[in-house]
Amino acid sequence: MKMGMRGAAASVLILAMGTTGVALSQQPAAAPAAAKETSNLNSKQKLGYAIGGDVARSLEAIKTHIDLAAMREAVQATFDGKQPLITQADAQKTDTALRTSMAIANGQQVPGQAPGSAPPKVDNRQVGLMLGSYMVGPSLAELKGDIELDALFDAVKTAFDGGQPKLSQEEGAAILQSFMATKQAEMQAKAAQLGQTNRQEGNAFLAKNKTVPGVVTTASGLQYQVIRPGSGERPLPSSKVKVNYEGKLLDGTVFDSSYQRGQPVEFGLDQVIKGWTEGVSLMPVGSKYRFWIPGELAYGENGTQGGPIGPNATLTFDVELISVQP
């Protein structure tokens, strides 16, 4: 079985949360221990302790199988942009061994295991590497500049050992909530600034481009140029079409291409961005057009989640209309 980004680690967590039949987040909270003095902690340390507490609670059911030093090593490697310290294949083997061991320990019958048989040996270092490489590390990579790993793993170890935490669960939750609110505000401000910049650059480009011979500007602001004429039927805005295409940002970056995939695509013109619905409806079968689509007719103020299309980005598409599907 091929694992995704979090692969085996995610399945281990699901197993851990399912051993009692109740998700950890739904279990009654333990009486909060008196937290240690935290006035001397900086913001990165506080966030590290807050996240560490959450990590510890998520992994509580499998804590005896985790080598924390190995997990930290793997998280640090992820933060440093290195390859995972355990292969997907070895992570899968570790996942299977851990799942089987936990199932047997809980009195469950495991296919292929004789009743009463001893659980398989679990390599705790491999478990730590698996969790650090495929769950904790990737989950926290974007926050690596905001947290202190020493604090995070001190919080995990303290919780696993039953010690006194530096932050109560309520304090940790408040820190996380405040941090996320701040981050969200920063991201919104950055997106708004980028959206304004993209709109200005797009408008300037389109104003100049409309003067190029052969470029047509429609009432909506869409611009197009006929690269190769065609003589077939034109689709309706609700038609299903078969096309080849390549999409670029204004700087020439290709963000999507059926040519690169080596296969045309089919879709309904009522299921795509407005610029495509309008533009492809202008094309006769057999033709190839170039479209310049302003942001409001493309992906708007949101862009595409995670990139590469930013808010209000003006896009260029070369489109070949192969056929209108029945």
**Cross-strand pairs, 242:** 266, 323
Choice among 49, 179, 291, 317 that is catalytic: 317
Take residue 289 and report the two structure tokens written for it. 């057009």
Choice among 146, 150, 256, 318 that is catalytic: 256
**49 is an active site residue:** no
**255 is an active site residue:** yes
**267 is an active site residue:** no
Choice among 79, 160, 273, 318 that is catalytic: 273
**256 is an active site residue:** yes
Choice among 224, 245, 289, 291 that is catalytic: 245
**299 is an active site residue:** yes
Using CA atoms, how far apart are residues 206 and 188, in angstroms rounded to an integer?
Answer: 26
Q: If DSSP codes are grouped into helix, strand and coil, which group holds residue 293?
A: strand
Using CA atoms, how far apart are residues 229 and 168, in angstroms rounded to an integer?
Answer: 69
- In the DSSP assignment, the letter for residue 292 is E
CA proximity to 295, closest of 203, 204, 209: 203
Choice among 86, 153, 299, 309 that is catalytic: 299
Would you put residue 291 in left (φ > 0), alpha (ψ -120 to 50) or beta? beta
**79 is an active site residue:** no
Choice among 90, 255, 267, 322 that is catalytic: 255
Residues 6+ apart with CB under 8 A from 240: 266, 267, 268, 269, 324, 325
H-only helix segments in the chain: 7-18, 43-59, 68-79, 88-105, 124-131, 137-140, 149-160, 169-209, 258-261, 274-280
CA proximity to 180, closest of 293, 51, 275, 311: 51
Instruction: List active site positions.
Output: 245, 255-256, 273, 299, 317
